[in-house]
Amino acid sequence: MERRRRRRVRDRRTPTPTVAVLASVADRHTQRALLADVERYGVVVSQAPPDTAPAWLRFTARQRLIVGLVRGVVVVEAGLRSATLTAAHTAAAVGRPVMAVPGPITSATSAGCHLILRTHPDTRLVTTGHDVTDPLTPPDPATLPATALLGDGE
């Protein structure tokens, strides 16, 4: 199922810059065409050397790599055992914005989002693209007070 989702996310007809973060490179053999497209238009990142077998700890490490590469994390319908929760906790710990799009409260796939919203008070509930991009947009330097531009009020 994960492979089908990856194929849908990366439409091979649309050459857009892409970063693929892999838990291991063992799936390089099964995803050869998809990875070739990513390599052509972007970059493939992994902490593991080629032909390393997948393992749960590598997926946790991948989530940390993703947090290091992004300006914010959006959790969409994550279950309680979702690796995405690792990314959300790590993002919150390093001061990156965390946002959540939970589904129905009766759905097991929403439990992780609700947990994030309860345990991290700065988590934003988002429903639109603007809700996501707004906290990631840096302030316009022209609107900052002069002391903020100088640093220590010098």
pLDDT digits (tens, 9 = 90+) for 6-63: 554 545 555 667 788 877 765 556 667 777 778 788 888 887 777 777 777 777 788 8
Cβ contacts of residue 42 below 8 Å, gap of 6+?
17, 18, 19, 20
C-alpha to C-alpha distance for 25 and 11, rounded to whole angstroms: 21
Mean pLDDT (whole number) for 131-136: 85
Strand partners, 19: 43
**Residue with the two structure tokens 């947009």:** 137
Per domain, the residue ranges of the chain are 1-54, 60-136
The tens digit of pLDDT for each residue in 82-119 reads 888 888 999 999 889 999 998 888 999 889 999 999 99
Span 60-136: which CATH code? Answer: 3.40.50
